[in-house]
Structure 1
């Protein structure tokens, strides 16, 4: 076997890879391991006495040290020991299974009482499993492990027993329960503190009409809630309601409910939905929405949504949305809101922005003729029907004398009409070797980038003599 080796100054990544170790600190430094991490102390003896040679924090106890020193140059090859300590809150407690296996010796204690004792030198791995009932609250588990000679490995785990036939212990009642009622939205937000039970399945939220004893489960109805917050809308009847939270474990045991917290709902009568919603493209390639107000007289505003996302709230019966993506379909809905905050059903309309996102194809047939007054370009007009104008690119060779070379392209300032097929670029006849390219830009602003490998370039040498560098 290959032995896991740990340096006293090992990195976190190396420690994780070697068995779940999260941190490593030289023995002289103080180490604090936050629950539920184990604090591991390595000793260069089998009595686990004196100052630890290495202290780490482990997420699990699962080590295979093989035949060598687990902490290079820190511990002896044989006859070393490790103490793991963990203190955590077990909530309501309950039945647990403890498992331990090791080569060589291992002892597991709960609150100072030894529960597993396999303290002997072995040439093979020894194992033991015990079932325990842990009381509620905080408890400390201590694992002592030693290896005398030969191979060394150790595993320890503790897990709740979640069978309904075994676990009859209720979870603790959730603490920190509060409710906040938003009258505008008619929403009750319940919050509470997470329970500590390891076998917790989640929470259930209950509501009842004040003056009755019949509870209705309004949260965690099909499976327990895993979050510690829940939002619910009570019937908008103007009546008083009480809420409470109960925890439930994986065995199906439910806690006693929290103290009941009351709220009084408000009366809500929503206005009718906006009438005749229409979506029409406007001159800015956006959309103009128009509708007729519902018959309700207390409408204060309208909420406008695009693809389910609120984009604006307006008081008029119209809304404009600009700069939409060409060729994209949008689903618009509009809801009326009255002065009390009641929101109507939605009026819906879809809208497809004209155009596309595809640049015109590369220009073909490009020719460049050098002249005394510049370079005369000719090309085959684009066959595409939505060309709005043409742009000219010129590229010059770049060499900074330090090994950086290449063609550098820039766009000339002229915009040529959709019927153009030639262009004279006035430039000095200085004999330079340059490149020219032409791109078509469509109505929607799409055009090929100069760096696109599909772009067609033409190379030309200007008349005249190159200027001295």
Structure 2
């Protein structure tokens, strides 16, 4: 049981005594606000719930056994009443079970419509369960209990019926989705608002490449956030969606798409060296860099290196946008020469060097 939270105001009343005005303090009614889904509870010193409650507080669960004693100070041990009420958001709604037990009388209302009515003085606890369909959105449940004589106990629960045989209602689509992207790590974090569904099982997180028709399920989670640390760093754009799943297996629609454009940290594939004929005035074949990368169109620059046979050091003989060159001054003695090359994409990522390859014999 949660303690009451009261806000008490004091009124000042001016009164006259012997021609002199003076102020006297008059306590105002205490206001109690209980945060949903906690119940507001009121104790009455009668069975008609009339007049001002003797006490008002907050109760997290209706489950009390007062025996033959008074429930609170100022209320008799017989002929008293207790009223609980709560207004909450039921999300998409659906089938619920209202289960109440009491000694003596009990009545349960949904939005003012009576659903359970056991209103008599009994010598033993009576239990009653009814199945109720609650519409989507906010609704008010009220539970009235009275004790006429003897022992007093009361219990009430409202729980979703989660069997797929009864629950055909899809959860509400997740809302409040937002995504942030960390270009340093390449990770995207997706967040969303917690669902109002009482029978929520989990959320499913999906990612799809922009322009692609289907998404890839990344995770199943009960949290309200997910960090995608495996997002490819290719410069491509991706959409994220969240879906809600209830305990009966019903799946909501997807949340609004949230777009992330990744940084490009993926180098192109290494090119390889081929040989092609130089112009007619050159008596040997030319080294040519060829790439098989899927993003070959993204290659902005090539670099070709030649191995010095004496020093075993590589030197750059070409750097530019062309993929083929004629290295005209490399072979005065007619010897074979070894080349290698690499490619850089528009984002500045260099590929690995190609495998080193020796030139064909001079012609």
1:236 matched to 2:216? The reply is no
What corresponds to 2:285 in structure 1? none
Match of 2:243 among 246, 258, 262: 246
Q: Structure 2: which 5+ residue stretches go unaligned?
A: 9-27, 268-346, 350-363
Cα root mean square deviation, aligned:
2.0
What corresponds to 1:108 in structure 2? 108
CA distance in 2, matches of 1:54, 1:169: 40
Aligned-residue offset at 1:83: 0.6
CA distance in 2, matches of 1:218, 1:162: 26
What corresponds to 1:213 in structure 2? 213
What corresponds to 1:40 in structure 2? 41
CA distance in 2, matches of 1:183, 1:164: 43
Match of 2:255 among 254, 258, 274: 258
CA distance in 2, matches of 1:243, 1:71: 54
Matches within 5 A, 1:159-178: 159-178=159-178
CA distance in 1, matches of 2:158, 2:348: 53
Residues 169 and 209 from structure 1, CA distance in 2 versus in 1: closer, same or farther, beyond 3 angstroms? same
Q: Secondary structure at the match of 2:108?
A: strand
CA distance in 2, matches of 1:341, 1:47: 81
1:22 matched to 2:3? The reply is yes
CA distance in 1, matches of 2:167, 2:144: 29
What corresponds to 2:194 in structure 1? 194
Aligned-residue offset at 1:21: 4.2
Residues 22 and 59, structure 1, Cα contact 8 Å, conserved in 2? no
1:226 matched to 2:240? The reply is no
CA distance in 2, matches of 1:33, 1:263: 41
Residues 234 and 266, structure 2, Cα contact 8 Å, conserved in 1? no
Aligned-residue offset at 1:115: 0.3
What corresponds to 1:304 in structure 2? none
What corresponds to 1:80 in structure 2? 80
Q: Structure 1: which 5+ residue stretches go unaligned?
A: 1-19, 271-339, 343-469
Q: Cα deviations across residues 56-97 of structure 1 (Å, max 9, x unaligned)?
A: 10000001110111113x011210001100000111111111
Residues 24 and 55, structure 1, Cα contact 8 Å, conserved in 2? no
Residues 5 and 33, structure 2, Cα contact 8 Å, conserved in 1? no
Residues 172 and 256, structure 1, Cα contact 8 Å, conserved in 2? yes
Q: Cα deviations across residues 270-312 of structure 1 (Å, max 9, x unaligned)?
A: 8xxxxxxxxxxxxxxxxxxxxxxxxxxxxxxxxxxxxxxxxxx
What corresponds to 1:138 in structure 2? 138
Residues 21 and 148 from structure 1, CA distance in 2 versus in 1: closer, same or farther, beyond 3 angstroms? farther
User: How many residues were matched structurally?
Assistant: 249
What corresponds to 2:22 in structure 1? none
Q: Secondary structure at the match of 1:22?
A: coil
Aligned-residue offset at 1:22: 3.1
Q: Secondary structure at the match of 1:41?
A: strand
Aligned-residue offset at 1:341: 12
Aligned-residue offset at 1:269: 4.0
CA distance in 1, matches of 2:170, 2:261: 31
